[in-house]
Amino acid sequence: MRRFRQITLEVDALGCVRGGRDIFTGISFSLQPGQLLAVTGPNGAGKSSLLRILAGLLRPASGRISLTPDGEELSPMHYFGHLDGLKDAMSLRENLAFWGLLYSGRANMEAVAEAADRFGLGHALDLPVAVFSAGQRRRAGLARLTLSPRPLWLLDEPTSALDRQGEGALGTLMSEHLGAGGTIVAATHLTLPVAADLTLEMAPE
């Protein structure tokens, strides 16, 4: 796996308001290359909202987010949310080829096959994802992370619905990413397959 440009994610006094209510305030942390931040806390504490703000999908009510070196944009990232990003009527091969095309401008079919194999889905490349189990769909969604190297991963409950094999594949992928100088922010209720360097425990306001 390639090494990434060395970047640092800085979050300073971040706040979020949804529906006129403070979801969280004063969130600050700094992540260096090769570090994993686990974001924990009960439902409603704002874990998913924090990831969506980091991904640029929500505007913060206050605070600042920056990547250094100066001038680095928040675009070099993968955001993996609750939805799997898969089209039921399409095969796994077609789904992954679509995401490869979207990420990099071309559909590398060798990379598609390798991504499926990494998550134990090589045998299912030509099946429509409509027939996949919840765990298979989760693994198929996670396989998208391998299609375009990006230094920052934002993962929302990445181990949800995964069996031991799926967790093992995810753990290997996360370890490789961190070892290459990548950075991960993962919101989770469960134990991650890789030990976190930092933990941010969130609580409802």
pLDDT of residue 3: 59
User: Which carries the bigger pLDDT value, residue 1 or residue 167?
Assistant: 167
Share of the chain above pLDDT 90, in %: 79
Q: Does residue 112 carry a pLDDT above 50? A: yes
Question: What is the dihedral angle through the alpha carbons of 102, 104, 105, 108, rounded to the nearest 10 degrees?
Answer: -100
Q: How do residues 77-105 score in pLDDT, each as one tens digit?
A: 899 998 889 999 999 999 999 999 988 88
Q: Does residue 2 carry a pLDDT above 80? A: no
Residue 40: strand, helix, or coil: strand
pLDDT of residue 73: 46
Average of per-residue pLDDT across 44-52: 95
Short-list 97, 99, 157, 95, CA closest to 130: 95
Average of per-residue pLDDT across 70-82: 70
Residues 6+ apart with CB under 8 A from 34: 178, 179, 181, 182, 183
- Could you tell me the two tokens for 151? 């230094």
